[in-house]
Amino acid sequence: MMKSLEEYIALAAESHGHMCPGQVLGIRMAMLGLKAIGIDDPGKYRKRLLTFVEIDRCATDAVSLVTGCRLGKRSLKFLDYGKVAATFVDLETQRAVRVVARDDSREKARTMFPELAEPHRQQLAAYKVMDDAELFTVQPVRVKLDGHDLPGRPRTRVACEQCGEGVNDGRERRVNGRILCRSCAGEKYYEPLSD
C-alpha cells in the first residue's frame, strides 16, 4: 500500500534531515505519478519501476523515498535539467508520465497563507493542502530506453585503451578506432593535479 502524505512527510524529514517545501512537492509528485501509471504499492513494483528526476535538490530525495528508486540500483536516473520534474515509468506496461511542478504554485501559496511571514512557511503549509492540479502538470509520455540503461547486471564492460580504467554499460566512446572512456575522449570534468 502507498503510505499517506503525513506518513511520508515524517519519513522524509527523518532521512533528509529537515522538512521543506521541496520535499512536500517531491512526495506528492511521486504519489501522483505512481497513481497515474497504475502503481498503488511501490514496494511491490520495485523491479519494474524506473524514475527520472530532473533536479538535484530536496524534491529528489523525497521522490526516491516514495518510489524506492535509487541511483545505486539504476532505478533512479538523474538528468541535470534544473527543473522540479520527474518521469515515472512502468517497465512492464511501458506506461509513463512526466509530472512537473507548476511555477504559479508559489504565488498561490502566498495568497493562501498571507498570515505566515516567509515564503518558505507559506509554501510548506500550502503544498500539503493544495489540489494536485494546482501543484502539478501531468503529461503521458513515452521514454526511449536503451538496454544499457536498465537495472540488473552490467551488459558490457570494456577497458579504456588510454587510461586502462574499466567502463560499464556501453558508456565508452569510439574515437579514431580506439575505445576510450568519456574522460579520455575529451569529456573530463576534473584536472589531475599530478600523474
The residue from 8, 9, 12, 20 that contacts Zn ion (CB under 5 A) is 20
The answer to whether 30 contacts Zn ion (rule: CB under 5 A) is: no
Tell which positions 155-174 bind Zn ion, by CB under 5 A: 160, 162-163
Amino acid (1-letter code) at residue 130:
M
What are the beta bridge partners of residue 97?
88, 140
| Piece of 32-40, 54-62, 74-82, 100-108 that binds Zn ion (CB under 5 A) | 54-62
| Count of residues of this chain found to bind Zn ion when the rule CB under 5 A is applied | 7
The answer to whether 141 contacts Zn ion (rule: CB under 5 A) is: no
Q: Find, among 38, 92, 34, the residue nearest to 64 by Cα.
A: 34
Q: Which residues contact 149 (CB under 8 A, 6 or more apart)?
A: 74, 77, 169
Strand, coil or helix: 33: helix
Residues in the chain: 195
Cβ proximity to Zn ion: between 69 and 181 the closer is 181
Cβ proximity to Zn ion: between 10 and 141 the closer is 10
Contact positions vs Zn ion (CB under 5 A): 20, 58, 160, 162-163, 181, 184
